[in-house]
Amino acid sequence: MTAVHAPGVPVIEDGELVSTNPATGAEAGRFPVADEEDVRRSVARAGEAARWWAGLGHAGRKERLLRWRSLIANRMTEIAELVNREGGKPVADGIVETTAAIEHIDWAARNARRVLGLRRVRSRLVLAEFSAHLEYQPYGVIGVIGPWNYPVVTPIGSLAYALAAGNAVVFKPSEYTPAVGQWLADTFAEVVPEHPVLQVVHGLGDVGAALCRSGVAKVAFTGSTATGKKVMAACAETLTPVLIEAGGKDAMIVDADANLDAAAEACVWGGLMNAGQTCIGIERVYAVEPVYDAFVAKVVEKAGRLTVGDGEDAEIGPITMPSQIEIIRRHIDDAIARGGRAVLGGPEAVQPPYVHPTILVDVPEDSAAVREETFGPTLTISRVRDSDEAVALVNAVPYGLGGSVFGRRNAMSIARRLRSGMAAVNSVITFVGMSTLPFGGVGDSGFGRIHGDDGLREFGRAKAITKRRGPSLMPAMTFERTPAQVGRIAKTIKMIYGRG
């Protein structure tokens, strides 16, 4: 008799991780669960593979990564449908997510040599007899712990950059989306069959903890702030460096000279896409007094048209992690109990496994809906006097991942004042697809960067080399120096640097 599983809740059955769709309960796949010894063996195999992979050089890795890019591009509908089947995300959103992932693979492959390769660095006068050289050498094996809400583009932000830098990777996908993680590793193995350069280990949180303690040279984690702290603590035992991309409570500011139609459209997309399960999604909005009422009306009208369900035409799918529904419900109930109003949705919008769009106004700034990560299709919209008050309120929470500003004259300066790792002006979340820019946050949103030049450097150790190119005119680092030479050194330094 086949066991009945709660839809979307990962379970372990006969040593396998069983993944199911959160809306229908249909099984998406079964994968062998790794124990601590399995994880260590995977890391050991990856260590051998890393030496081969690094030996290919930038050109060899680029050629293989571009083939992986092309394979994913040609099969993007396949992976988007798998994302839908496993996590409930609409297929159209899966295609958009995969498009961004393909861009990141392409950029990392094409730019790794420029960013990380050996190059001359300008030397200084006091050591003019030496030339300076810098390169970023691969760590060896990187452990990547991925999330469930964007199971393609977010892990690729670490996988592609780590691989382009010359590392092998052991990847622990979320237990909510193991099938997608396995698909990524399997397709990579199709283009790189020689060695296990990218491996997957499946399981619950204990497998992620085992990966942190397995001897990997660095861990790249994406997930909640609470889990990120646990990852740091585990890695601290062995001084294993970490990259943490944690939660967010991103805000949008709507200034007086904003295009309200564009701002409302972006707000609804940024706050409600993927059922609001986006770390860089808009959860709070601060609109200045002159445009507040008109802006709220436009957001309510647009959000009210969205369709919710698991059909082909649905624009908002189910909540992927069932336990999140109670958090969303608590935030809505708390906001209303504290004097807030639901101008769309409200407590009745919570209809597991779905949550319908909910727009809350007049919500106190110290409420859970404003200060805690909701991760659902809800928005709080608050009235402010001006952009200065808006910036102060945006920066008052401990998170600092992304943000958005709509306006004309002062929008750029407002964006620069946000305490966040990223910001978008007259758009939302566009920075995630901009492969030339670093992605990451501050405060409770973590530290370190993926994407861009900084993202490549995260996965390489800086190696500095000096090379003598002539005799020393001012021999300082030798016991053969004379008092007269030390005197000349002192005189020269005073002449060069002694004047203000």
> Exposed (0-12), middle (13-18) or buried (19+): which is 269, by Cβ within 10 Å?
middle
Q: What angle do CA 69, 70, 73 make, to 5 degrees?
A: 90
CA 123 remoteness from chain centre:
36
What's the rounded Cα separation, in Å, for the pair 397 and 68? Answer: 40
- Residue 26 vs residues 9, 23, 56, 327, 391: alpha-carbon distances, Å: 11, 8, 42, 24, 45
**255 φ, ψ (degrees, to nearest 5):** -85, 170
Q: Which residue is associated with the tokens 């950059």? A: 161
* Known catalytic residue at 245: yes
Active-site residue among 86, 97, 175, 245? 245
Concerning whether 279 is annotated as a catalytic residue, the answer is yes
CA 397 vs. chain centroid, Å, equals: 19
Any idea which residue has 């997957």 for tokens?
200
Are 197 and 164 within 8 A, CB to CB?
A: no
DSSP per position, 208-225 = HHHHHTTT-SEEEEES-H
Distance CA 349, CA 325 (A): 11
Alpha carbons 268 and 413: distance in angstroms, whole number: 24
Catalytic member of 235, 279, 283, 372: 279
Contact between 58 and 118 under an 8 Å Cβ cutoff? The reply is no
E strands, 341-440, in order: 341-344, 350-351, 354-355, 358-361, 378-384, 399-400, 403-406, 424-425
Query: What is the DSSP annotation of 346-369?
Result: -GGGEETTEE--EEEES--TTSHH
The tokens for 412 are 């750029």
Q: Any idea which residues carry the catalytic annotation?
A: 245, 279
